[in-house]
Amino acid sequence: MKHMLKYSFSLLLTLFSIAIQAQEQPKDTIKKTERYGLRIGADISKLARTLYDKDYKGFELAGDYRITKKMYIAGELGNENKTTDDDRLNFTTKGSYFKAGFDNNFYQNWLNMENMIHLGVRYGFSTFSQQLNSYKIYDNSGYFPQAPEVAAGTKYNGLSAHWAEVVAGMKAKLFNNVYAGFSLRLNYLLTEKKPENFDNLYIPGFNRTYDGKFGVGWNYTITYFIPFYKKKK
């Protein structure tokens, strides 16, 4: 009986010690990590416009790379071929562009979420050509009932433009590693090389200049995330 009591007491102490150790372990044993890597895709709005607008052909690659918890290096690379038919001008712009900068994510993600509501900046650069297809002579004398159209066909090569861009947008995870994104852009033209006797009324990547320094743009992207490594959250 004495040995039984001694054994029972020892077993009770052992169970009590195990219980104490179990209580001391953290309740949340899930290791929370965040993924870091490259997200790359395309602007589907330019692809769609290429299909339905006979005066436009364009393509843009978009990507970002996560460097900190909130900060991403981001950029776009594209090409545009657009014919603009205004009241008095018909001209074609062809060229390529790239943009580079960063985005800061202001969205607080829950566990395993990787969505973004971001604000960022870009530096943009474009090289392009302008071809004046036709124009109408402005006449205020009333001699012509309608302004006559003049065929031109003059092409201006070696043009360029530099601008700064403020970006606001969002990205949402659709399913495994695939994201949909939308962004609005406000552009400010820094410098440009203009053709003689003409103006850069449209700049690839910048869009219309509206006879001034400012422009606006947007994109709709589908991107795929390539994870490189993980960090503890």
Q: Which of 205, 170, 211, 163 is nearest to 187 (CA)?
A: 163
Residue 31's pLDDT is 63
Backbone φ and ψ for 82, nearest 5 degrees, come out as: -135, 130
Direct distance between the N- and C-terminal alpha carbons of the chain, in angstroms, rounded to an integer: 55
CB-CB contact of 183 with 167 (8 Å): yes
Residue 219, sorted as left (phi over 0), alpha (psi -120 to 50) or beta, turns out to be: beta
Residue 12's pLDDT is 42
CA distance 92 to 81: 7
Residue 138's pLDDT is 60
CA distance 211 to 199: 9
For 137, residues 6+ apart whose C-beta sits below 8 A from its C-beta are 144, 147, 148, 150
- Positions of the chain with pLDDT lower than 50, given as ranges: 1-5, 7-9, 11-13, 15-16, 18-28, 144, 147-148
What DSSP assignment string belongs to 21-60? HHHHS-S-----EEEEEEEEEEEHHHHHHHHH-TTEEEEE
Q: What is the pLDDT of residues 21-77, one digit of tens each?
A: 444 444 445 567 889 999 999 999 999 999 999 999 999 999 999 999 999 999 999
